[in-house]
Amino acid sequence: MEAQQKKRVLSLIQPTGTFTLGNYLGALKNFVRLQDDYECVYGLADLHAITVRQEPAALRKNVLEAYALLLAMGIDLEKSIFFIQSQVPEHSQLAWVLNCYTQFGELSRMTQFKDKSAKHADNINAGLFTYPCLMAADILLYQADYVPVGADQKQHLELTRNIAERFNGLYSPTFTVPEPIIPKHGARIMSLQDPTKKMSKSDENVNAFVAVLDDPDTILRKFKRAVTDSDACVRFDPENKPGVSNLMSIYSAVTGKDHGGDRGPEFDGQGYGAFKPAVGEAVIECLRPIREETERILKDKAYLESVYKAGAEKASYVANKTLRKVYKKVGLCSPLTYIFLKEK
């Protein structure tokens, strides 16, 4: 009996710097799990990153570090395609075509454009306005069945679906119309200094977040400084004890141990002086293999270059099949990238 083909999931991540413990436990860890049930296509969206000004050397460093980090987290190159967006020219080529099938009004209603325009009022560029078309190209190139989305991306996925349906209706079925997939929620990790806010790398207080690549001493120091309360009782009560409850959630997420409902049985009768360092040590041990493997990969520059180039070739092979169909239907000549791949 023929094995049923797995559905395809696609997700791109902006490599704009630090990945936090919250990013890892809340989303990235789930990317690894998805590989067991789906055919996964993952990418680093460096073209999206330049809609705001980037320091060139820092962006290149961030891209390579993010690639190594995601490999260290468990992205399996035998199971998944993993590429750097700018190395797959089909993304930009399809994005231009989709620009011509997207209405000005649709783009002007994008809430993220309004938000980012307000934040970067000195650089409201065309790329910022049209980047939903590039996002649509990212998805439609790979005929993705599902796209993991958060609340801030639902509007963009809906636009992608509209573009795909419009193009399919004008010509003939060309694109798979993607569905949102709501990943199994990882832990919602809050700021260590203000547990009413999500942990964020953009927090001005560096003690508010833990970076995945922070060294053990830094991690332990941040947890020792974590905001709790004056009760000195380890109890899970998000409403009245948000700081302690956040630490209990982190401890549970990194150890796999249930925090025991109202009380943390491991810390019953102990004060925060024992509790906070214990959480820090558990996080250190969770992140240690990821940090060490990331450092090993980054030192082996030849290996890193070979795998991201191979990833780009695999991605381009899949993407070009879609681009050829699109070019033919709109009346363009076959894309050169296909010719190069064919000659190879």
Average pLDDT over residues 140-159: 88
- Told to judge if 201 belongs to the known catalytic residues of this protein, a careful annotator would answer yes
Bridge partners for 147 per DSSP: 180
Degrees to nearest 5, angle at CA 121 with 118 and 125: 105
**Cα distance between the two ends of the chain:** 35
Identify the structural domains of the chain with CATH numbers, from first to last: 8-186+301-343 (3.40.50.620), 206-297 (1.10.240.10)
- Told to judge if 114 belongs to the known catalytic residues of this protein, a careful annotator would answer no
Helix (H) or strand (E) holding 57: helix 56-73
Bridge partners for 311 per DSSP: none
3-state secondary structure of 43: strand
Helix (H) or strand (E) holding 317: helix 301-330
Q: Which residue of the set 29, 201, 314, 329 is catalytic?
A: 201
3-state secondary structure of 179: strand
The larger pLDDT score, comparing residue 122 to residue 54, is at 54
Residues 66, 23 contacting (CB under 8 angstroms): no
**pTM (two decimals):** 0.89
Residues 187, 154 contacting (CB under 8 angstroms): no
Q: Which residue of the set 6, 7, 61, 198 is catalytic?
A: 198
Q: pLDDT (tens digit, 9 = 90+) per residue, 94-139?
A: 999 999 999 998 988 887 777 776 776 777 788 888 989 999 999 9
pLDDT for 259 beyond 50 = yes
The structure tokens listed for 30 are 């789930």
Confidence category of residue 194, pLDDT binned at 50, 70, 90: very high
- Told to judge if 198 belongs to the known catalytic residues of this protein, a careful annotator would answer yes
